[in-house]
Amino acid sequence: MKESVFSAIALYVQSVFRGAWSIAGSCKTALPYLIRWGDLKKEVTEGYPDPISSKTADDLPTRSRGLLFNDIDRCTGCRECETACPSRCIRVESEPGSDQAKVWVSVFDIDFSRCIFCGLCVEACQPGSLVHTKQYEGAAYAVPDLVASFGRGQITEEHRNKWAMMRKLGESDGVAP
Amino acid sequence: MMTSENSWIVAWSNSLGFPEALPQWLYAVVALVSVFVFVVVPSGGLMSYLERKLAADLQARVGPNRTGPAGLLQPIADLFKLLQKESRVDWSWKENLWLSVHTMALYSTLAVLPLGSMAVLVNTEMSVFLPFWSALVLALGTMLLGLSQNSVPGWFGGIRVAAQTLAGSFPALISLLCTGVRSGSFRWSALAESQGFSPWEWTVFANPFQMVAFSVFVMSGLVLLAIPPLDGGLSMSDIHGGVSSHLYGRRLSLFQFGRFYGFFFWSVITVVLFLGAWDLPAQVTVSLKAGGANQVLALLELIWLLLKTFGLMLLIVWVAKVNSRSRVDQITDFTWKVLSPFSLFALVGASLWAGWRAI
């Protein structure tokens, strides 16, 4: 087609209307979200779980990976978690306990400033003592405060005396085998 | 500056027990300050909240919901957050100068802001054009604020803002003439009297050319004052906010509030020119005036005007939130090649229409 003034004007007007149509189209696309039409009744974003949003930590999903907790009474000090940890934030030290068959987990530190909450340590934990809680607010003012200690502490002479007394009386010392 | 027919502030101050014989300039100052404090600032807070909520709804988000019921106190919290921020140390006196020039140019439009039949401070044959003077000085102040920052975003942002303002003022002025062609005057009062309460009495629906003039006027205002979606001159993604890239804390809040105010006053002017101004139903106006309830009438007019203004602003926010931001060269291109021809078309058409009606 030969380029004429009229065809140029027609093209110009056409492109202007096409632009206006596209703007109106995107406005129309967003409209169902605004008035909550059909499937879009609910916001996709969820509120932060706290009293303001009337959600609590218990409302979090069952398998949510919050701060770690180690039940030291069940912990065997096997160091599987320490091995599995990719960011090396777990430090375990254990020594023989009241008798040779028992393990005294003296140090079990988790450094939350390095933890990436991947959950590999929980998977590796054979006795199931290491678990994710639903706690998620672990902020601290200093980096050393971010280390959570679950260990029983170093064995002292006092401990040994107590164990000796217990053995004499034939009582259990409560430490896992 | 003030005419006796528009002495709304005189009436208010007398009813509050102030002596009657105060000098004129004092009344003008009180009027400007009270308009700013009681109309502009609350509107700013309300609109920033509504804008965020609307944007959140459009994007299936929640939006502000933590400060106060449904997040209503969020604007106040934001204000205090910005006020307590530390400012930059290497702030030069030039930036201070141009920020204050920019701000003064902006708020000088308060004097010509029409907010009701009894709340017009300047009502002359050319009062409609006064905001344009302020807008051009505003652009100069913004440009020099950018240039004085001695940085790449500042330089480019300043030049882009100037380019946008020059591009936008042409179609804005031409489409402004269309309303004068219909009302026969550029007085705020005459423009309001030529329209009515119901939409079919509004200038925008008077004829198709006025409709075109309305669309051109709104869009050229967005270009002129660099308001989203046509805010390529202050784009965040490529020039880090342009002129505002070096502003922090309270200076940034001053600048941002100024941008809101530009948006607000342009919407007020658009409503007065095209969308039936502050006109209430005729019998309401007459009965209120007969009953001597001028202050009630002034308040009702203000509320009705502001409601329409917020409606227009939310419409623009809706368009801005669902469309991508245009580049600055696209904006100036669009303004010169589309808005300007359409404004001339609207002016010729509106003139012919008015001439046809006059015959």
pLDDT of residue A18: 93
pLDDT of residue B6: 47
Is the Cβ of A45 closer than 8 Å to some Cβ of chain B? yes
Which tokens in the block code for residue A109?
Answer: 């530190």
Cis before B229 (ω within 30): yes
Round to the nearest angstrom and report the end-to-end CA distance of chain A.
93
Beta bridge partners of A110: A90, A148
Tens digits of per-residue pLDDT, B65-102? 888 788 888 888 888 888 887 766 667 777 778 888 88
CA distance B80 to B75: 9
pLDDT at B340 over 60: yes
Q: Which residue do the tokens 């309401």 mark?
A: B284
- Give the chain A residue whose CA is nearest to the CA of B68: A52
pLDDT of residue B15: 64
pLDDT of residue A147: 92
Which of A45, A48, A54 has the most B C-beta neighbours within 10 Å, making it the best mutation to test the interface with B?
A45
Between A and B, how many CB-CB pairs are < 8 A? Answer: 38
The backbone torsions φ and ψ at residue B314, rounded to the nearest 5 degrees and listed phi first, read: -65, -35
DSSP code per residue over B252-319: HHHHHHHHHHHHHHHHHHHHHHHS-TTPPPHHHHHHHHHTT-HHHHHHHHHHHHHHHHHHHHHHHHHH
- CB–CB contact A47 B318 (8 Å): no
Contact criterion met (CB below 8 Å) for B131 and B109: yes
pLDDT of residue B347: 93
pTM over 0.95: no
pLDDT-derived band at B27, boundaries 50, 70, 90 = confident
Question: Mean pLDDT across the stretch A127-139?
Answer: 89
Which of A83-87, B44-48, B153-157 holds the top average pLDDT? A83-87
Show residues of chain A in contact with B228, CB under 8 Å: none
- Give the chain B residue whose CA is nearest to the CA of A43: B60
Show residues of chain A in contact with B62, CB under 8 Å: 43, 45, 47
Contact criterion met (CB below 8 Å) for B185 and B349: no
* Average pLDDT of chain A, as a whole number: 85
pLDDT at A176 over 70: no
- Give the chain A residue whose CA is nearest to the CA of B69: A52
pLDDT of residue B9: 64
In 3D space, the residue among B60, B48, B51 whose CA is nearest the CA of residue A46 turns out to be B60
Beta bridge partners of A130: A70
Contacts 24+ apart (CB under 8 A), B6-10: B6/B118, B6/B119, B6/B120, B6/B121, B6/B123, B8/B116, B8/B118, B8/B119, B8/B294, B8/B298, B9/B34
Which tokens in the block code for residue A68?
Answer: 């770690």
Q: Mind telling me how many Å the CA of B169 is from chain A's nearest CA?
A: 20
Tens digits of per-residue pLDDT, B250-293? 778 888 888 888 899 899 999 999 998 888 888 888 888 888 77
Question: Mean pLDDT across the stretch A126-154?
Answer: 90
More confident residue, A4 or B23: A4
Question: Mean pLDDT across the stretch B349-354?
Answer: 91
Q: Using the 8-state DSSP alphabet, how is residue B5 labeled? A: G
pLDDT-derived band at A82, boundaries 50, 70, 90 = very high
The phi-psi region of residue A36 (left if phi > 0; otherwise alpha if psi is between -120 and 50; otherwise beta) is left
More confident residue, A173 or A77: A77
pLDDT at B5 over 60: no
Which tokens in the block code for residue B354?
Answer: 């008015």
Task: Delimit the domains of chain B by residue range.
Answer: 91-358
More confident residue, A40 or B111: B111
Is the Cβ of A37 closer than 8 Å to some Cβ of chain B? no
- Range in A25-34, A72-81, A110-119, B18-27 with the lowest mean pLDDT: B18-27
Q: What is the ipTM of this complex?
A: 0.72
More confident residue, A36 or A95: A95
CA distance B6 to B17: 19
- At residue A108, the 3 state secondary structure works out as strand
Is the Cβ of B205 closer than 8 Å to some Cβ of chain A? no
* Average pLDDT of chain B, as a whole number: 83
pLDDT of residue B335: 93
pLDDT at B241 over 80: no
CA distance B323 to B334: 16
pLDDT at A48 over 60: yes
Q: Which amino acid is at B141?
A: G
pLDDT of residue B37: 85
Show residues of chain A in contact with B330, CB under 8 Å: none
Domain A63-169 fold: Alpha-Beta Plaits (3.30.70)
pLDDT-derived band at B62, boundaries 50, 70, 90 = confident
**Cα-only R_g, chain B:** 21
Other beta carbons within 10 Å of A73: 12
Tens digits of per-residue pLDDT, A148-167? 999 888 888 888 888 888 87
- CB–CB contact A45 B62 (8 Å): yes
DSSP code per residue over B135-188: HHHHHHHHHHHHHTT-SHHHHHHHHHHHHHHHHHHHHHHHHHHHHHHHHS---H
Tens digits of per-residue pLDDT, B257-267? 888 888 998 99
CA distance B132 to B106: 10
Q: In what order do the strands lie in the sheet with A90-96?
A: A90-96, A103-111, A147-149
- CB–CB contact B61 A23 (8 Å): no
Q: What is the share, in percent, of chain B residues with pLDDT greater than 70?
A: 92
CA distance B99 to B94: 8
pLDDT-derived band at B4, boundaries 50, 70, 90 = very low
Which tokens in the block code for residue B125?
Answer: 């044959």
Task: Delimit the domains of chain A by residue range.
Answer: 1-45, 63-169
pLDDT-derived band at B218, boundaries 50, 70, 90 = very high
pLDDT at A113 over 60: yes
- At residue A131, the 3 state secondary structure works out as strand
pLDDT-derived band at A87, boundaries 50, 70, 90 = very high
Show residues of chain A in contact with B322, CB under 8 Å: 26-27, 29-30
Is the Cβ of A44 closer than 8 Å to some Cβ of chain B? yes
Q: Please enumerate in sequence order all residues whose Cβ is within 8 A of that of B221, keeping only pairs 6 or more positions apart, or say none.
A: B168, B172, B227, B266, B269, B270
Of B54, B60, B322, which has the smallest distance from its Cβ to A26's Cβ?
B322
Is the Cβ of B296 closer than 8 Å to some Cβ of chain A? no
Tens digits of per-residue pLDDT, A14-34? 999 999 999 999 888 888 877
Show residues of chain A in contact with B57, CB under 8 Å: 33-34
pLDDT at B344 over 90: yes
Q: Which residue do the tokens 């401070």 mark?
A: B121
Question: Mean pLDDT across the stretch B177-202?
Answer: 87
More confident residue, A3 or A120: A120
CA distance B95 to B97: 5
- CB–CB contact A45 B58 (8 Å): no
Question: Mean pLDDT across the stretch B151-160?
Answer: 86
Show residues of chain A in contact with B54, CB under 8 Å: 34
CA distance A28 to A32: 8
CA distance B141 to A39: 49
Q: Please enumerate in sequence order all residues whose Cβ is within 8 A of that of B263, keeping only pairs 6 or more positions apart, or say none.
A: B225, B227, B313, B316
